Amino acid sequence: MKGQWKNGMKPVLILIAGLVVSAATGIQAGPYYSFFTVWERDVGVLHPVDLDGDGVDEVAGMVNDLQTDVRDWKLQTYYRSFPLRFQDPYYCIPLPTGRLDSLVFYLTVTKPDTLTAWIIPPKPDNPASLADQEDWILLDRFVRQAGTRPKHFDQSLGFIGFVRRPEAADLALFRLNCGFDPHGKRGIVAFDRITWKKAWTFLCGPQVLDVEIRDLNGDGADEILFGSYAPANGRNLNGTRDDSAYVFLIDARGRLLWRRGIGPYWTGVSVCAGDLTGQGGDDVAAFQYSLRELPDSQDRVLILDGETGAILRQKRIGDRLTCRPTTPLRFCRDLDGDGRDEIVLGNTDGYVRILDGQLTQTGVSPPFGKPVRVDLIADLNGDGAMEIVWSTDNEIGVMDRHLRPLTSKSSDMIDGADIMPLHAKGKTHIFLRKAPRAMLLSFRSSSMPFGPLRSRVSAFLWPAILVSWLILLGILYLLRGRILLSVLLPCLEKSRAADGLLITDRKKRILYMGSRWKTSFSLPFSGKGPVSRDDFLAALPEPVRPVVHGVSPRNEPEKTIRFQDGDGTDRFIRVIPIRIRAAGLTCFRLSDIKQEETQRLLYQWAHVAQRLAHGIKNPLTSLKLDTEDLCEMFLSDSPEEKKKALRLLESMPKRILRMLAMADGFMRYTGLRETGLTRCDLNAVIQENLLQWPPDPASGIQIEWEPAKTLPAVRLDPVQFVFAFENLLLNAFESIAGKGRILIQTHPAEVFDAEHGIQHWVELRIQDSGAGIPPEQIGRIREAFVTTKPNGTGLGLTIVDRVMETHGGCWEIQSQTGIGTTVMLRFRPANNLP
Domain ranges of the chain: 2-30+451-478, 497-597, 674-834
H/E stretch holding 406: strand 405-410
Give the model's confidence band at 642: pLDDT under 50 very low, under 70 low, under 90 confident, else very high: confident
pLDDT value of residue 473 = 76
Distance of alpha carbon 269 from alpha carbon 240, whole angstroms: 15
pLDDT value of residue 601 = 61
Looking at the predicted structure, is the pLDDT value of residue 99 above 90?
Answer: no
Give the model's confidence band at 600: pLDDT under 50 very low, under 70 low, under 90 confident, else very high: low
Looking at the predicted structure, is the pLDDT value of residue 52 above 70?
Answer: yes
Looking at the predicted structure, is the pLDDT value of residue 463 above 80?
Answer: no
Mean pLDDT across the chain: 80
Distance of alpha carbon 792 from alpha carbon 771, whole angstroms: 16
Contact 204, 223 (CB under 8 A): no
Point out which residues pair with 35 in neighbouring strands.
Answer: 443
Looking at the predicted structure, is the pLDDT value of residue 672 above 60?
Answer: no
Superfamily of domain 497-597: PAS domain (3.30.450.20)
Higher pLDDT, 544 or 701: 701
Lowest mean pLDDT among 508-512, 528-532, 670-674: 670-674
Higher pLDDT, 477 or 668: 477
- Give tens-digit pLDDT for 61-84: 888 777 888 999 999 888 888 887
pLDDT value of residue 302 = 92
For residue 543, say if its preceding peptide bond is cis, omega within 30 degrees of 0: no
Lowest mean pLDDT among 255-259, 284-288, 646-650: 646-650
In the chain, % helix, strand, coil (3-state, to 5) comes to: 25, 35, 40
Give the model's confidence band at 44: pLDDT under 50 very low, under 70 low, under 90 confident, else very high: confident
Inter-axis angle of helices 2-25 and 458-478, nearest 10: 170
Looking at the predicted structure, is the pLDDT value of residue 457 above 50?
Answer: no
Q: Which long-range contacts (CB under 8 A, 24 or more apart) does 695-698 make?
A: none
- Give tens-digit pLDDT for 400-423: 999 999 999 999 888 889 999 999
Q: Coil, helix or strand for 232?
A: coil
Burial of residue 756 (CB within 10 Å: 0-12, 13-18, 19+) is exposed
Point out which residues pair with 758 in neighbouring strands.
Answer: 752
Inter-axis angle of helices 480-494 and 458-478, nearest 10: 60
Contact 200, 163 (CB under 8 A): no
pLDDT value of residue 24 = 46
Give the model's confidence band at 802: pLDDT under 50 very low, under 70 low, under 90 confident, else very high: confident
The predicted model gives 123-130 an average pLDDT of 84
Distance of alpha carbon 385 from alpha carbon 391, whole angstroms: 20
Range with top average pLDDT, 424-433, 441-450, 772-781: 424-433
Q: Torsions phi, psi of 232, nearest 5?
A: 60, 55
Looking at the predicted structure, is the pLDDT value of residue 483 above 90?
Answer: no
Torsion angle, alpha carbons of 776, 777, 778, 779, to 10: 80
Looking at the predicted structure, is the pLDDT value of residue 831 above 70?
Answer: yes
Contacts of 31 (CB under 8 A, 6+ apart): 445, 446, 447
pLDDT value of residue 445 = 83
Distance of alpha carbon 481 from alpha carbon 479, whole angstroms: 6
pLDDT value of residue 208 = 93
Contact 729, 766 (CB under 8 A): yes
H/E stretch holding 143: strand 137-143
Contacts of 29 (CB under 8 A, 6+ apart): 18, 22, 447, 448, 449
Nearest CA to 115 out of 58, 56, 179, 165 is that of: 179
Looking at the predicted structure, is the pLDDT value of residue 832 above 80?
Answer: no
pLDDT value of residue 613 = 64
Q: Coil, helix or strand for 517?
A: helix
pLDDT value of residue 661 = 61
The predicted model gives 351-359 an average pLDDT of 93
Nearest CA to 521 out of 502, 539, 537 is that of: 539
Give the model's confidence band at 26: pLDDT under 50 very low, under 70 low, under 90 confident, else very high: very low
pLDDT value of residue 479 = 66
pLDDT value of residue 113 = 92
Looking at the predicted structure, is the pLDDT value of residue 25 above 50?
Answer: no
% pLDDT > 90, the chain: 31
The predicted model gives 248-270 an average pLDDT of 91
Nearest CA to 162 out of 51, 272, 61, 56 is that of: 51
Superfamily of domain 674-834: Histidine kinase-like ATPase, C-terminal domain (3.30.565.10)
The predicted model gives 602-631 an average pLDDT of 68
Nearest CA to 583 out of 500, 666, 483, 674 is that of: 483
The predicted model gives 592-619 an average pLDDT of 64
For residue 112, say if its preceding peptide bond is cis, omega within 30 degrees of 0: no
pLDDT value of residue 665 = 57
% pLDDT > 70, the chain: 77
Q: Torsions phi, psi of 8, nearest 5?
A: -70, -35
- Give tens-digit pLDDT for 137-157: 999 999 999 888 888 899 999
Q: Where are the beta strands (DSSP E) in 718-809?
A: 740-753, 757-768
pLDDT value of residue 28 = 45
Give the model's confidence band at 493: pLDDT under 50 very low, under 70 low, under 90 confident, else very high: low
User: How far is CA 672 from each of CA 126, 723, 724, rounded to the nearest angstrom?
Assistant: 108, 11, 11
Looking at the predicted structure, is the pLDDT value of residue 484 above 60?
Answer: yes
Distance of alpha carbon 509 from alpha carbon 16, whole angstroms: 31
